[in-house]
Amino acid sequence: MNKLTLTSCMAGNADPFVKKLTEYLATKLQLPMTSTLDISWQEREQKFDNGEIQICWICGLPYAWKADSTGSEIELLATPVLEASRYQNKAVYYSDIMVPAESDIQTFDDLQGASWAYNEPNSHSGSYLMRSHLAALGLDSRYLGKVIESGAHQESIKMLLNRDIDASAIDSWVFELELANDPSLATRLRVIETLGPSGFPPFIISKQVPEHLRQTLRSAMLAMDKDPLGREILDSVKISHFTQNGDRDYDSIREMAKLAQQVEWSK
């Protein structure tokens, strides 16, 4: 294997971190590595699936689908643990249902008839989690008003700010990064309900990468927070450290996905 390639299917505001992480690992381990971030996340995932990319940071739901597929050739590499106290030093995150600060919507019950945006169909935090929550309450998407696909969590945030929609489920970590860039969001949006916690999106690696190299990469990521430069890179995106999650840490996402099948977004 001449070169390892790393990519991300996370929100776009994670791309600078992935580039820095790739450079850090390449230097630390003296390995030829590069990152592929100049194409759509759908193309990135496709290149990972066909073997052109070896390491991918991906939502827990598509990880579970890939891991459960016949003849799966992937394994968990390492998973971020976020800094904020709400995560209790665990590799989890939340889906926060947000509305404009001046909205009359105060609780989940007030969402009846409200316009809604999900980021993209296969997202756990932005789509499946809300669908499973509706199903658990014995509701379907008709409980809401107009439902549209925004394309990304950041786009959903913009739509909330522009009052183009009434509410949306936003990945808690994505919002933390947006808030760091624009502190005014703290007073312009508010949370009416929190869904989760869910297993945080993992970095996964192809088993085509030799086992000793997979372990070398994993060890470097798990120790990154102890290294001054590694600590600086992690702090820049509010990550405390990496841990090694197990496949069972994504069982709750699998169960929620099954429940979500009862609810389809209305067109």
76 and 137 belong to one structural domain: no
193 and 132 belong to one structural domain: yes
Which pLDDT score is estimated for 192?
98
30 and 58 belong to one structural domain: yes
Q: What is the 3-state secondary structure (H, E, C) of the chain?
A: CCCEEEEECCCHHHHHHHHHHHHHHHHHHCCCEEECCCCCHHHHHHHHHCCCCCEEECCHHHHHHHHHCCCCCEEEEEEEEECCHHHCCCCEEEEEEEEECCCCCCCHHHHCCCCEEECCCCCHHHHHHHHHHHHHCCCCHHHCCCEEECCCHHHHHHHHHCCCCCEEEEEHHHHHHHHHHCCCHHHHEEEEEEEEEEECCCEEEECCCCHHHHHHHHHHHHCHHHCHHHHHHHHCCCEEEEECCCHHHHHHHHHHHHHHCCCCCCC
* Other CB atoms within 10 A of residue 6 CB: 25
| Alpha carbons 60 and 63: distance in angstroms, whole number | 5
| Alpha carbons 129 and 247: distance in angstroms, whole number | 19
pLDDT digits (tens, 9 = 90+) for 79-98: 999 999 999 999 999 999 99
73 and 140 belong to one structural domain: no
Residue 267 lies in a domain: no
Q: What is the CATH number of the domain that holds 74?
A: 3.40.190.10
Which pLDDT score is estimated for 157?
98
> Could you list the residue range(s) of the whole structural domain that residue 54 is in?
4-84+200-248
- Confidence band (pLDDT; 50, 70, 90) for 1? low
| Alpha carbons 225 and 242: distance in angstroms, whole number | 8
138 and 183 belong to one structural domain: yes
- Confidence band (pLDDT; 50, 70, 90) for 2? confident
Which pLDDT score is estimated for 31?
96
Residue 58 lies in a domain: yes
Which pLDDT score is estimated for 266?
77
22 and 75 belong to one structural domain: yes
In the chain, how many domains are there? 2
204 and 183 belong to one structural domain: no
50 and 101 belong to one structural domain: no
Residue 163 lies in a domain: yes
pLDDT digits (tens, 9 = 90+) for 103-161: 999 999 999 999 999 999 989 999 999 999 999 999 999 999 999 999 999 999 999 99
Average pLDDT, the chain: 96
Residue 265 lies in a domain: no
177 and 114 belong to one structural domain: yes
57 and 102 belong to one structural domain: no
The token pair at 50 is: 């066909």
